[in-house]
A = this chain, B = another copy of it.
Amino acid sequence: MSDSEYRDIQKLDLFAQMTDDHFASLMQGAYVQNFPAQIELITEGDPSDFLHVVLSGAVDLFSEWNGRATSMATVRPISTFILAATIKNAPYLMSARTLEKSRIALIPSQDVRSIFDKDSGFARAIVTELSQCYRSVIKAQKDIKLRSSLERLANYLLRQQKHVGGGNVFTLDFEKRRLASILGMTPENLSRAFKGLQPHGVTVNGTRITISNQMGLEEFAKPNPLIDDAST
């Protein structure tokens, strides 16, 4: 692991508050690896041997049941995933695959758990991180239980727009098929949902979105901070 990677990881909220000593010993057993795109990093049901940190690239968390699959979330640098499984020493609930060439740090779960016991700054950071994760999933659950697919798409577009600066023209950062899966619909239905948003001032050209009627879209989408704000 390079010095700059070491420092990048240390700067993560999750690790910033722990002692240098503890961080060093956590990194002792860790290693960094490059993966090509479309590699399955972990499989749901497996024991959680490593806490993963995405240093570059992107990772899709997904789940399967009875021949069906759904994307649960996308992890982008620099952040960790499967913290809860690591802490509980329980099997992964989701699988993970690289979406593109990715550089990923692997920290043995055993080390995370034992240092968590020793370092209260680390413990606090873990609590904050887990609360954040929990609240994110609750929001996703509300999104899917309270909104139609058209409404979910509209709100997703507003979130993405805000996320990349708020301009009227912006670009999707997912493949549409994966966006569809994240939003809980089929690719065909997503296509039609984009069409359905045209009357509300949305134009799509490939991956490029133009919002020509901001007010109209917001009036339709009715975004709500308790569902759509990442921070709160």
Contact B226 A138 (CB under 8 A): no
**Do residues B88 and A135 form an inter-chain contact, with CB atoms below 8 A?**
yes
CB-based contact A145/B184 at 8 Å? yes
Q: Does A117 sit at the interface, judged by CB under 8 A?
A: yes
Instruction: State whether B142 touches A63 (Cβ < 8 A).
Output: yes
Oligomeric state, in copies:
2
A133 contacts B135, CB within 8 Å?
no
Residues from chain B with Cβ under 8 Å of A124 in the complex: 116-117, 123
- Tell me how many residues of A have a C-beta within 8 Å of chain B: 51
Q: Of A52-60, A64-72, A165-173, which binds chain B?
A: A64-72
Given A144-B144, A184-B145, verify A93-B123 contact (CB < 8 Å).
no
**A63 vs B64: C-alpha distance when bound (angstroms):** 27
A65 touches B141 (CB 8 A): no
List, sorted by A's number, 11 A–B pairs whose CB atoms are closer than 8 Å: A66-B151, A66-B222, A69-B146, A70-B146, A72-B138, A72-B145, A84-B130, A88-B131, A90-B135, A91-B226, A144-B144
